[in-house]
Structure 1
């Protein structure tokens, strides 16, 4: 039996609660969220399922289950700088860590000093830590890396994640600017984006043992070509429907990796596609794409068994055993 403490009980955290209780061999023994409106609630009832007898605590220090827990599932922030203290606090309680933090997925080139600090602390405390999710963590980095396993030679990798944002949770739609005017988008441009695209480029390069000399990233708004109005979305024509974000990695001035992330309401033909140029050339497409909210929660749960058997330190998805689905620990 693996005993889990959840940190962060937003929409993804609540979905994680539901997914965690489904797995044999996993037990939620603690839950933490500083939001006063959440503290004291039963974590099961708060997630919309049966009562679990676990009350949400405001912090790890006040959580009575730290001595009996094996691992912390952290779904709180996207920023590595903000995540560092949370990882170190979990490590102080001898808890391995699986997190949805996008910047944690592969921070060795984007934030090397923070990455080294986290790695050193985890090794000192003898715990393992990984950041993962559907993206970054799988579709635009781990999956294309795995697909190159059948190649004699690889010259270029292109990944396209084109998704309809209508079924996604509201925080995701807010993150990509759905419903903003053009002027509002410009005001908030620094915070409207998919986090982790550069990390995905570097993860692919790491898997290929490529040393990139440059990574560029661009982002443009996607405007609605017609009004989209239903029970949860109200977007007028010409308002922002989402974003198109592109990251490119170069070696000696030549593009070797390009990642195209486009998420907007109203997308008609969503898909996830990996194109490998090399020997052999091939294209792999998932028609309709993978639902990001389902996949992120699922891969977090599936990574639990793997990270508990990993050596100490900060890991990426390339460092650990395949986090395959399991029905029982």
Structure 2
């Protein structure tokens, strides 16, 4: 059997992670969650019993000391501040951490103080912290590959669409009127959207200097009445989610200005809507790379599990996937 891996959080993502870890010959050290304490993790995930019971956060310190996993996959919240308590326990127990937390993908500029604290904490305990998941390849390395096979790229455009019904309930503007959405998402300053960190990571990967970066939000509206699995009834004309657009101007190595435009479209689906990932370049040559109907959950989980060995081998502290290179 391979290395011992812990899971923190046991929603949709880590249930899939559990399956992939077992199929990749890893051992499951422990599963930490807010629910189903004392129940077998395999049974809760719809698999055979594993003999690994789900434990509470309060038990985590003792169980980590006893089981000594080499790494933990954290799949809980989207902000670094929301997972700091978990990270302190994991770093103290010298556990490497991989997380699909969106801010963690590249947080040095959007959360410098928190990132410095995490970096210090993990370096002192000789373990590594990294953010990975869906944006690893589809939000960063696809873009750098297109630039790599081009003579010149003046603009990169990426669009990713996903269904909010596939994830837990969040603060996504769903059900708001146009006026309410405008008040909450347009006139009020928002924290950087999920695509902001991957854009900065891509700039680092390309060696392009960021001159400016900004974002805006546009609502996606229900053309008909929609019944959502997670959010209930959404009347026609109300918001089904939003399109978050990140604009970035950069200085290439040749001294010319280039652009990245990244669109993250999260909404409640209706009719024939489906996930997609699409990259375009404007340059010589201009290129288009389309991935219709990617399995967002599977890509997120496979990317994370496949990053474990890179994370274990990396230097201590905060190490981005850009520093690690493409998934080996």
Q: TM-score, normalised by structure 2?
A: 0.85
Which residue in 2 is equivalent to 1:9?
Answer: 10
Given that 1:31 and 1:63 are in contact with CA atoms closer than 8 Å, whether structure 2 keeps it comes out as no
Change (3 A) 1:273 1:40: same
Cα drift, residue 181 of structure 1: 4.6
- Quick one: distance in 2 between partners of 1:192 and 1:169? 23
Q: Is structure 2 residue 286 aligned with structure 1 residue 281?
A: yes
Q: Which residue of 2 aligns with 1:327?
A: none
Contact 2:122/2:128, CA 8 A, preserved across alignment: yes
The structure carrying a bigger helix percent of its residues is 2
Tell me, which stretches of 5 or more residues in structure 2 are unaligned? none
Counterpart of 1:261?
Answer: 264
Aligned-residue Cα RMSD (Å) equals: 2.8
Does the alignment pair 1:322 with 2:319? Answer: no
Matching residue of 2:106: 106
The 5 A counterparts of 1:16-55 are 16-24=17-25, 26-33=26-33, 35=34, 37-55=35-53
Q: What SS does structure 2 have at the residue aligned with 1:31?
A: strand
What is the match of residue 207 of structure 2? Answer: 209
SS at match of 2:327: coil
> Residues 183-225 of structure 1: CA distance to partner in whole angstroms, max 9, x if unpaired?
6656764799994221122111111222223211111211111
**Aligned twin of 1:140:** 139
For residues 111 and 44 of structure 1, what CA distance do their matches in structure 2 show? Answer: 36
* Number of residue pairs aligned between Structure 1 and Structure 2: 316
Structure 1: stretches of 5+ with no match in the other structure: 325-329
Distance in 1 between the 2:279 and 2:198 partners?
Answer: 13
Counterpart selection for 1:176 from 165, 172, 190: 172
Call closer, same or farther: CA 1:66–1:311 in 2, change over 3 Å. Answer: farther
1:296 is aligned, of 289, 293, 300, to: 300
Q: How does 1:106-125 map to 2 (within 5 A)?
A: 106-125=106-125
Distance 1:185 1:48 in 2: 38
When residues 269 and 296 of structure 1 are mapped into structure 2, their CA distance, relative to the original with a 3 A threshold, is closer
Cα–Cα, structure 1 residues 255 and 279, in superposed 2: closer, same or farther, change >3 Å? closer
Deviates more, 1:109-118 or 1:232-241: 232-241
More displaced 10-residue stretch of structure 1: 315-324 or 95-104: 315-324
Q: How far off its partner does 1:246 sit?
A: 0.4
Residues 206, 79 of structure 1: alpha-carbon distance in 2 compared, 3 angstrom cutoff: same
User: Aligned partners of 1:39 and 1:143: how far apart in 2?
Assistant: 40
1:254: Cα distance to partner?
Answer: 5.9
Q: Is the 8 A contact 2:203 2:210 kept in 1?
A: yes
Give the Å deviation of 1:239: 2.3
Distance 1:270 1:301, change over 3 A: closer
Secondary structure of residue in 2 paired with 1:318: helix
TM-score by length of 1: 0.85
Change (3 A) 1:75 1:183: same
